[in-house]
Protein backbone atom coordinates (compact mmCIF):
# COMPACT_ATOMS: atom_id res chain seq x y z
CA UNK A 1 0.00 0.00 0.00
CA UNK A 2 2.88 2.39 0.79
CA UNK A 3 4.29 2.00 -2.72
CA UNK A 4 0.86 2.55 -4.27
CA UNK A 5 0.20 5.71 -2.26
CA UNK A 6 3.73 7.04 -2.92
CA UNK A 7 3.27 6.52 -6.65
CA UNK A 8 -0.13 8.16 -6.43
CA UNK A 9 1.27 11.23 -4.64
CA UNK A 10 4.13 11.60 -7.14
CA UNK A 11 1.69 11.28 -10.03
CA UNK A 12 -0.55 13.95 -8.58
CA UNK A 13 2.43 16.25 -8.00
CA UNK A 14 3.43 15.85 -11.64
CA UNK A 15 -0.13 16.60 -12.75
CA UNK A 16 -0.31 19.72 -10.58
CA UNK A 17 3.02 20.97 -11.95
CA UNK A 18 1.93 20.29 -15.53
CA UNK A 19 -1.38 22.10 -15.00
CA UNK A 20 0.45 25.09 -13.53
CA UNK A 21 2.83 25.27 -16.52
CA UNK A 22 0.01 24.97 -19.06
CA UNK A 23 -2.07 27.58 -17.24
CA UNK A 24 0.89 29.99 -17.19
CA UNK A 25 1.60 29.50 -20.91
CA UNK A 26 -2.04 30.08 -21.83
CA UNK A 27 -2.37 33.03 -19.50
CA UNK A 28 -5.15 31.39 -17.48
CA UNK A 29 -3.24 31.83 -14.24
CA UNK A 30 -2.76 35.56 -14.81
CA UNK A 31 -6.41 35.95 -15.77
CA UNK A 32 -7.66 34.20 -12.65
CA UNK A 33 -5.29 36.00 -10.30
CA UNK A 34 -6.19 39.35 -11.81
CA UNK A 35 -9.80 38.57 -11.06
CA UNK A 36 -9.32 37.38 -7.53
CA UNK A 37 -9.13 33.63 -8.12
CA UNK A 38 -5.74 32.03 -7.42
CA UNK A 39 -5.01 28.90 -9.45
CA UNK A 40 -2.87 27.45 -6.67
CA UNK A 41 -5.53 28.14 -4.08
CA UNK A 42 -8.17 26.63 -6.33
CA UNK A 43 -6.09 23.47 -6.75
CA UNK A 44 -5.69 23.14 -2.98
CA UNK A 45 -9.40 23.70 -2.48
CA UNK A 46 -10.30 21.14 -5.16
CA UNK A 47 -7.87 18.56 -3.79
CA UNK A 48 -9.06 19.08 -0.21
CA UNK A 49 -12.69 18.50 -1.10
CA UNK A 50 -12.03 15.99 -3.88
CA UNK A 51 -9.93 13.68 -1.75
CA UNK A 52 -11.59 14.53 1.55
CA UNK A 53 -14.92 12.97 0.67
CA UNK A 54 -13.33 9.96 -1.01
CA UNK A 55 -10.91 9.16 1.83
CA UNK A 56 -13.51 9.71 4.55
CA UNK A 57 -15.83 7.30 2.71
CA UNK A 58 -13.00 4.76 2.55
CA UNK A 59 -12.26 5.13 6.26
CA UNK A 60 -15.86 4.41 7.25
CA UNK A 61 -16.56 1.94 4.43
CA UNK A 62 -16.86 -1.14 6.67
CA UNK A 63 -19.23 0.55 9.10
CA UNK A 64 -21.24 2.07 6.26
CA UNK A 65 -21.52 -1.23 4.37
CA UNK A 66 -22.61 -3.17 7.46
CA UNK A 67 -25.17 -0.49 8.30
CA UNK A 68 -26.66 -0.19 4.82
CA UNK A 69 -27.13 -3.91 4.15
CA UNK A 70 -27.62 -4.99 7.76
CA UNK A 71 -24.66 -7.38 7.66
CA UNK A 72 -24.06 -9.39 10.82
CA UNK A 73 -20.40 -10.13 11.56
CA UNK A 74 -19.67 -13.71 12.56
CA UNK A 75 -17.75 -13.54 15.85
CA UNK A 76 -18.44 -17.10 17.01
CA UNK A 77 -19.74 -19.45 14.28
CA UNK A 78 -23.05 -20.93 15.46
CA UNK A 79 -23.54 -23.59 12.77
CA UNK A 80 -21.73 -25.57 10.09
CA UNK A 81 -22.37 -23.00 7.36
CA UNK A 82 -20.87 -20.16 9.37
CA UNK A 83 -17.85 -22.27 10.33
CA UNK A 84 -17.29 -23.24 6.70
CA UNK A 85 -17.61 -19.60 5.66
CA UNK A 86 -15.06 -18.35 8.19
CA UNK A 87 -12.65 -21.21 7.50
CA UNK A 88 -12.82 -20.64 3.73
CA UNK A 89 -12.16 -16.92 4.04
CA UNK A 90 -9.27 -17.64 6.43
CA UNK A 91 -7.75 -20.11 3.95
CA UNK A 92 -7.96 -17.58 1.10
CA UNK A 93 -6.54 -14.82 3.30
CA UNK A 94 -3.55 -16.97 4.20
CA UNK A 95 -2.91 -17.92 0.58
CA UNK A 96 -3.20 -14.27 -0.52
CA UNK A 97 -0.93 -13.10 2.30
CA UNK A 98 -3.37 -10.65 3.92
CA UNK A 99 -4.83 -10.25 7.38
CA UNK A 100 -8.00 -12.12 8.26
CA UNK A 101 -10.98 -9.89 7.37
CA UNK A 102 -14.25 -9.67 9.23
CA UNK A 103 -16.75 -12.15 7.80
CA UNK A 104 -20.43 -11.27 7.70
CA UNK A 105 -23.77 -12.46 6.35
CA UNK A 106 -26.58 -10.17 5.24
CA UNK A 107 -30.18 -11.11 4.58
CA UNK A 108 -31.03 -10.77 0.87
CA UNK A 109 -32.56 -13.20 -1.66
CA UNK A 110 -30.08 -12.23 -4.40
CA UNK A 111 -26.86 -14.16 -4.99
CA UNK A 112 -24.14 -11.65 -4.16
CA UNK A 113 -21.12 -10.89 -1.98
CA UNK A 114 -18.83 -7.91 -1.51
CA UNK A 115 -15.56 -6.85 0.10
CA UNK A 116 -14.64 -3.45 1.47
CA UNK A 117 -12.36 -1.82 4.02
CA UNK A 118 -9.70 0.85 4.45
CA UNK A 119 -6.78 -1.50 3.76
CA UNK A 120 -5.96 -5.09 2.84
CA UNK A 121 -5.35 -6.10 6.46
CA UNK A 122 -8.53 -4.51 7.82
CA UNK A 123 -11.27 -5.58 5.45
CA UNK A 124 -14.80 -6.97 5.50
CA UNK A 125 -16.12 -9.82 3.35
CA UNK A 126 -19.89 -10.24 3.38
CA UNK A 127 -22.13 -12.73 1.59
CA UNK A 128 -25.89 -12.77 1.10
CA UNK A 129 -28.14 -15.49 2.45
CA UNK A 130 -29.26 -15.99 -1.14
CA UNK A 131 -25.71 -16.93 -2.16
CA UNK A 132 -25.42 -19.49 0.63
CA UNK A 133 -28.78 -21.00 -0.31
CA UNK A 134 -28.47 -21.07 -4.11
CA UNK A 135 -24.78 -21.80 -4.75
CA UNK A 136 -22.88 -25.02 -4.22
CA UNK A 137 -19.93 -24.94 -1.79
CA UNK A 138 -17.50 -24.98 -4.73
CA UNK A 139 -19.22 -22.00 -6.37
CA UNK A 140 -19.37 -20.08 -3.09
CA UNK A 141 -15.69 -20.91 -2.53
CA UNK A 142 -14.84 -19.24 -5.85
CA UNK A 143 -16.92 -16.17 -5.04
CA UNK A 144 -15.07 -15.79 -1.74
CA UNK A 145 -11.80 -16.14 -3.62
CA UNK A 146 -12.94 -13.36 -5.97
CA UNK A 147 -13.67 -11.07 -3.03
CA UNK A 148 -10.38 -11.91 -1.30
CA UNK A 149 -8.59 -11.04 -4.54
CA UNK A 150 -10.15 -7.57 -4.33
CA UNK A 151 -8.82 -7.31 -0.78
CA UNK A 152 -5.33 -8.59 -1.60
CA UNK A 153 -4.97 -6.25 -4.60
CA UNK A 154 -5.99 -3.24 -2.49
CA UNK A 155 -8.83 -2.47 -4.89
CA UNK A 156 -10.83 -0.50 -2.32
CA UNK A 157 -7.93 1.89 -1.70
CA UNK A 158 -7.07 2.24 -5.38
CA UNK A 159 -10.68 2.96 -6.33
CA UNK A 160 -10.96 5.58 -3.58
CA UNK A 161 -7.76 7.29 -4.74
CA UNK A 162 -8.94 7.28 -8.34
CA UNK A 163 -12.24 8.78 -7.21
CA UNK A 164 -10.32 11.46 -5.34
CA UNK A 165 -8.33 12.33 -8.47
CA UNK A 166 -11.39 12.70 -10.69
CA UNK A 167 -13.25 14.60 -7.95
CA UNK A 168 -10.36 17.07 -7.79
CA UNK A 169 -10.36 17.65 -11.53
CA UNK A 170 -14.15 18.03 -11.61
CA UNK A 171 -14.09 20.71 -8.89
CA UNK A 172 -11.03 22.43 -10.38
CA UNK A 173 -12.20 22.69 -13.99
CA UNK A 174 -15.84 23.42 -13.10
CA UNK A 175 -14.75 26.53 -11.24
CA UNK A 176 -12.38 27.63 -13.99
CA UNK A 177 -15.20 27.30 -16.53
CA UNK A 178 -17.57 29.17 -14.21
CA UNK A 179 -15.06 32.01 -13.72
CA UNK A 180 -14.33 32.38 -17.45
CA UNK A 181 -18.01 32.36 -18.43
CA UNK A 182 -18.88 34.76 -15.60
CA UNK A 183 -16.34 37.28 -16.92
CA UNK A 184 -16.62 36.76 -20.65
CA UNK A 185 -20.34 36.11 -21.09
CA UNK A 186 -22.03 37.67 -18.06
CA UNK A 187 -19.58 40.65 -18.08
CA UNK A 188 -19.03 40.49 -14.34
CA UNK A 189 -16.28 43.04 -13.58
CA UNK A 190 -16.57 42.86 -9.80
CA UNK A 191 -13.89 41.27 -7.63
CA UNK A 192 -16.26 38.55 -6.49
CA UNK A 193 -18.07 35.75 -8.35
CA UNK A 194 -21.43 36.65 -9.83
CA UNK A 195 -24.54 34.56 -10.29
CA UNK A 196 -23.22 33.35 -13.64
CA UNK A 197 -20.17 31.84 -11.94
CA UNK A 198 -22.25 29.78 -9.54
CA UNK A 199 -24.81 28.63 -12.11
CA UNK A 200 -22.18 27.64 -14.68
CA UNK A 201 -19.91 26.04 -12.06
CA UNK A 202 -22.71 23.82 -10.79
CA UNK A 203 -23.77 22.87 -14.32
CA UNK A 204 -20.16 22.12 -15.31
CA UNK A 205 -19.66 20.07 -12.15
CA UNK A 206 -22.67 17.92 -12.99
CA UNK A 207 -21.52 17.40 -16.60
CA UNK A 208 -17.90 16.72 -15.68
CA UNK A 209 -19.12 14.47 -12.86
CA UNK A 210 -20.82 12.20 -15.39
CA UNK A 211 -17.59 11.94 -17.38
CA UNK A 212 -15.61 11.28 -14.20
CA UNK A 213 -18.02 8.53 -13.18
CA UNK A 214 -17.53 6.82 -16.54
CA UNK A 215 -13.76 6.82 -15.95
CA UNK A 216 -14.10 5.32 -12.47
CA UNK A 217 -16.57 2.69 -13.67
CA UNK A 218 -14.27 1.77 -16.57
CA UNK A 219 -11.55 1.04 -14.03
CA UNK A 220 -14.01 -0.90 -11.88
CA UNK A 221 -14.91 -3.14 -14.83
CA UNK A 222 -11.24 -3.84 -15.60
CA UNK A 223 -10.67 -4.65 -11.93
CA UNK A 224 -13.39 -7.32 -12.02
CA UNK A 225 -11.46 -9.34 -14.59
CA UNK A 226 -8.42 -9.37 -12.29
CA UNK A 227 -10.55 -10.40 -9.32
CA UNK A 228 -12.02 -13.27 -11.36
CA UNK A 229 -8.48 -14.40 -12.21
CA UNK A 230 -7.59 -14.14 -8.53
CA UNK A 231 -10.62 -16.20 -7.56
CA UNK A 232 -9.54 -18.82 -10.10
CA UNK A 233 -6.07 -18.96 -8.53
CA UNK A 234 -7.38 -19.20 -4.97
CA UNK A 235 -10.26 -21.62 -5.52
CA UNK A 236 -9.66 -23.15 -8.97
CA UNK A 237 -10.54 -21.98 -12.48
CA UNK A 238 -13.33 -24.55 -12.89
CA UNK A 239 -15.00 -23.35 -9.70
CA UNK A 240 -14.75 -19.68 -10.72
CA UNK A 241 -16.21 -20.34 -14.16
CA UNK A 242 -19.02 -22.40 -12.60
CA UNK A 243 -19.79 -19.57 -10.16
CA UNK A 244 -20.05 -17.00 -12.96
CA UNK A 245 -22.19 -19.36 -15.02
CA UNK A 246 -24.53 -19.77 -12.05
CA UNK A 247 -24.75 -15.98 -11.73
CA UNK A 248 -25.53 -15.69 -15.43
CA UNK A 249 -28.28 -18.33 -15.14
CA UNK A 250 -29.87 -16.47 -12.24
CA UNK A 251 -29.30 -12.93 -13.61
CA UNK A 252 -30.89 -11.28 -10.61
CA UNK A 253 -30.64 -7.48 -10.43
CA UNK A 254 -28.33 -6.25 -7.69
CA UNK A 255 -30.00 -4.72 -4.65
CA UNK A 256 -26.72 -3.58 -3.09
CA UNK A 257 -26.57 0.16 -2.36
CA UNK A 258 -24.59 2.21 -4.90
CA UNK A 259 -21.86 2.84 -2.32
CA UNK A 260 -20.86 -0.85 -2.17
CA UNK A 261 -22.19 -2.27 -5.44
CA UNK A 262 -18.81 -1.83 -7.13
CA UNK A 263 -17.33 -4.26 -4.59
CA UNK A 264 -19.92 -7.00 -5.20
CA UNK A 265 -19.55 -10.14 -7.31
CA UNK A 266 -22.42 -9.12 -9.58
CA UNK A 267 -23.84 -5.75 -10.67
CA UNK A 268 -26.79 -4.29 -12.52
CA UNK A 269 -27.50 -4.94 -16.20
CA UNK A 270 -27.83 -1.99 -18.56
CA UNK A 271 -27.39 -1.46 -22.27
CA UNK A 272 -26.44 1.42 -24.56
CA UNK A 273 -24.96 4.55 -23.03
CA UNK A 274 -25.99 3.39 -19.55
CA UNK A 275 -23.50 0.55 -19.94
CA UNK A 276 -20.69 3.09 -19.50
CA UNK A 277 -21.84 3.55 -15.90
CA UNK A 278 -21.76 -0.16 -15.01
CA UNK A 279 -19.38 -1.24 -12.26
CA UNK A 280 -19.21 -4.83 -13.61
CA UNK A 281 -18.60 -6.12 -17.16
CA UNK A 282 -21.06 -8.59 -18.73
CA UNK A 283 -20.82 -12.07 -17.24
CA UNK A 284 -20.32 -13.51 -20.73
CA UNK A 285 -17.15 -11.45 -21.15
CA UNK A 286 -15.86 -12.47 -17.72
CA UNK A 287 -16.44 -16.16 -18.42
CA UNK A 288 -14.72 -15.87 -21.82
CA UNK A 289 -11.71 -14.12 -20.26
CA UNK A 290 -11.35 -16.88 -17.65
CA UNK A 291 -11.65 -19.61 -20.25
CA UNK A 292 -9.00 -17.91 -22.39
CA UNK A 293 -6.72 -17.38 -19.39
CA UNK A 294 -5.54 -14.00 -20.70
CA UNK A 295 -5.98 -11.94 -17.51
CA UNK A 296 -3.45 -11.93 -14.70
CA UNK A 297 -4.65 -11.63 -11.11
CA UNK A 298 -1.68 -9.74 -9.69
CA UNK A 299 -1.65 -12.03 -6.63
CA UNK A 300 1.48 -13.52 -5.07
CA UNK A 301 0.17 -16.64 -3.39
CA UNK A 302 1.80 -18.23 -0.36
CA UNK A 303 1.77 -21.96 -1.06
Report the SS3 class of residue 164.
helix
**Residues 148/115, Cβ–Cβ less than 8 Å:** yes
Rounded mean pLDDT of the chain? 83
Listed residue (130, 126, 125, 127) closest to 110, CA to CA: 130
Catalytic residue status for 147: yes
- Higher pLDDT, residue 295 or 5: 295
Is pLDDT of 67 > 50?
Answer: yes
| Range with the largest mean pLDDT of 14-23, 110-119, 193-202, 271-280 | 110-119
Q: What is the DSSP string of 166-195?
A: HHHHHHHHHHHHHHHHHHHTS---SSS--H
147, 205, 224, 261: the active-site residue: 147
What percent of the chain stands above pLDDT 70?
79
Over residues 168-178, the pLDDT tens digits come to 998 889 888 98
**Residues 121/141, Cβ–Cβ less than 8 Å:** no
Amino acid sequence: MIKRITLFLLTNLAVVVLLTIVASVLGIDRFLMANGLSLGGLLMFAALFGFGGSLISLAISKWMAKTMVGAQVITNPSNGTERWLVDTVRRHAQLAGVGMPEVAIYDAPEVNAFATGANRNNALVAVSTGLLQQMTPDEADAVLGHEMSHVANGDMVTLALLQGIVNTFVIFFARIIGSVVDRAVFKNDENRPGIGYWVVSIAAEVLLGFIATMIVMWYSRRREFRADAGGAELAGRGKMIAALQRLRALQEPSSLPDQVEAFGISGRRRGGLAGLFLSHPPLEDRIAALQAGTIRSGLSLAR
